[in-house]
Amino acid sequence: MSKDYVIGIDLGGTKIYTAVVDLEGNIISEETVATNAAEGEQAVLNRILGTVETVLKNVDISNVKAIGIGSPGPLDVKNGIIVNSANLPFKNFNIVQPLKEKYKLPTFLDNDANVATLGEFMFGAGKGTENMVFVTASTGIGGGAVLNGKLYRGNTANALEIGHMTVMVDGPRCGCGNAGCAEALGSGTAIMKRGRDAASSNANTTLKNYSEVTSKEVFEEAAKGDRVSKEIVNTALSYLGIAVANIVNIFDPEKVVVGGGVTNAGQIVFDKIQEEVDNRCLKAISENCVIEKAVLGGKAGVLGAAALAIMEIK
Amino acid sequence: MSKDYVIGIDLGGTKIYTAVVDLEGNIISEETVATNAAEGEQAVLNRILGTVETVLKNVDISNVKAIGIGSPGPLDVKNGIIVNSANLPFKNFNIVQPLKEKYKLPTFLDNDANVATLGEFMFGAGKGTENMVFVTASTGIGGGAVLNGKLYRGNTANALEIGHMTVMVDGPRCGCGNAGCAEALGSGTAIMKRGRDAASSNANTTLKNYSEVTSKEVFEEAAKGDRVSKEIVNTALSYLGIAVANIVNIFDPEKVVVGGGVTNAGQIVFDKIQEEVDNRCLKAISENCVIEKAVLGGKAGVLGAAALAIMEIK
């Protein structure tokens, strides 16, 4: 029996993770290489092409139907261009063209968040839903949405800037320039900042035992019972929960899938989110909406890129 | 040349407004009658059927392709049922069935906000867009969205509960039970409440000249220069603007169409909304998004119901 495959390429600042994936999300062959962005545009492009060669070694190319690429943005998705990216050497670089030319396959590009959204939708926690929002909480807060069964990109392909929703009018300044963004209050960065402030303050906190506090230490000390760390974690997770609650009231989704580094702190994250959703959402909506942890983890990017390829050729 | 028509029925607590509408949104014939909800289910149903008879008088029924009904909710849209409605006599009442039976036409039901959204999208300020959000600010704050060219309803058909987005964590209590909802801060009701509070306080305000302050008086006194009224209006419109800004960051729409009683206060409403959008949205999104006043006014319901019918049979 012949089987259809796609290629997923997870292009990141640290590594390139490429795989041949079947339509059920099983990885058939894979390769991960360091990006080494400092070596420049052509070197990184060659490295990407090299991973594709490798993963295709034992696969009949005639079974491969499309290529999907996930990349940090901003991107010009329509034209397959990486406009700019802090951790990649590409500037206004058409990343789709060389792959298309070499393999004569339909090739698609989308950003990290959209690709992870599609991955969870097609192969992960969002499987079987029609309306799903993906929220990622790590250094920032971002997301994506599948609505009526299709990825929703918005007018300029920047939809789902969940982290820049105002949830506290005169709140702390966010990197985007606005005040009181969810990201400035509920992200891993917000937890780190508040942890460092506490460590260098007069407060009685075990955070003082660390030379450099990150969100990880704040979560750990909170779990061990440090009152100050607990307060920081609870407050930040409340804001993350408020952001999710707002998303639930706006999208009326079947499921919100939450991923990203912050969810490594475990059940407390989901308890807090659920609490805010229960308190703040219309019952008709929240009683029919499930908040769930993302399941793809480190494979979100590569499986998401494969999901993008599958979605686009369907 | 034969021409296709649809019937739009705007079912409200005060009046029933029914029209034959062509595919460009021109009203061919129309009738408005009082709802007289107190007379009960059967009487109101008969009155609806009567308006349809009237508007069809000079129209060839073979040119009529579908019927759309807009109604206050909650509804069971899929099954054509009005579950409940504060100002209508219908309880778990199938409003679609009797029309379908009598006219043998595909007949569709949706709520006020969705219908108004479709009306503005198809015939009004949102014409020509693919991604448009409609925000209505009157006693409450609500809305609807057309995404990728289609009405987005969500999982339980309750999407776009814009008014119940939390924008101030420990803000005033909202009718929904939550605290700090946009509706509790930026709606006509919020303006009225703050105006009444001011009128009965020690504040020096011309609002004291009224026996019963509504949002209209607050807007009027603000325009005349009353400092207290101005502060109330500015604060409320800021919150409405924040709600719109959040919507812009989340949906990345081409256009946000704003309607409802609050917009009768004129340009100040749009200036304030634009100010918050400029301050709070990512530039890539807001620079490509237009905030515009709804144009259908009192015809939003009937033309929206017609638009629903057109959209569903397309």
CATH 3.30.420.40 residue ranges for chain B: 5-120+298-313, 128-294
Identify from A176, A250, A290 which residue to disrupt to test chain B contact, counting B C-beta atoms within 10 A and taking the largest count. Answer: A250
Average pLDDT score over residue span B238-259: 98
Q: How far is CA A50 from CA A4, A57, A78, A90, A93, in A?
A: 22, 11, 25, 17, 18
pLDDT given for residue B191 in this prediction: 97
Q: Is the peptide bond before A74 cis (omega within 30 degrees of 0)?
A: yes
How far apart CA B256 and CA B248 sit, in angstroms, is: 8
Which structure tokens are listed for B177?
A: 């039970």
pLDDT given for residue A86 in this prediction: 80
pLDDT given for residue B21 in this prediction: 98
**A75-94 per-residue burial string, b: 16 or more CB within 10 A, e: under 16:** bebeebbbeebeebbbeebe
Residue A2's pLDDT band, with cuts at 50, 70 and 90, is: low
pLDDT digits (tens, 9 = 90+) for A123-153: 999 999 999 999 999 999 999 999 999 999 9
Strands across the sheet containing B5-11 = B27-34, B15-22, B5-11, B64-71, B107-111
Nearest partner of A304 among A72, A1, A39, A47, judged by Cα: A72
Identify from B114, B132, B161 which residue to disrupt to test chain A contact, counting A C-beta atoms within 10 A and taking the largest count. Answer: B161
How far apart CA A88 and CA A37 sit, in angstroms, is: 5
Residues of B with CB under 8 A from a CB of A: 74, 130-131, 147-148, 150, 152-162, 164-169, 176, 178, 238-239, 242, 245-247, 249-254, 279-282, 284-285, 288-289
Could B167 and A167 be called an inter-chain contact, meaning their C-beta atoms sit closer than 8 Å?
yes
**Kind and range of the H or E element at B259?**
strand B255-259
Query: How close, in Å, is residue B58 to chain A by CA atoms?
Result: 40
What's the CATH fold of domain B5-120+298-313?
Answer: Nucleotidyltransferase; domain 5 (3.30.420)
Query: Using an 8 Å Cβ cutoff, are B6 and B65 in contact?
Result: yes
Pairing between β-strand B64-71 and β-strand B107-111 as defined by DSSP bridges = parallel
Could A155 and B252 be called an inter-chain contact, meaning their C-beta atoms sit closer than 8 Å?
yes
The minimal CB distance from A282 to the residues B150, B176, B245 is found for B176
pLDDT digits (tens, 9 = 90+) for A26-64: 999 999 999 999 999 999 999 999 999 999 998 999 999
Residue B85's pLDDT band, with cuts at 50, 70 and 90, is: confident
Q: What is the ipTM of this complex?
A: 0.93
Q: Does domain A128-294 have CATH number 2.40.30.200?
A: no
Share of chain B above pLDDT 70, in %: 99
Could B251 and A131 be called an inter-chain contact, meaning their C-beta atoms sit closer than 8 Å?
no
pLDDT digits (tens, 9 = 90+) for B17-58: 999 999 999 999 999 999 999 999 999 999 999 999 999 998
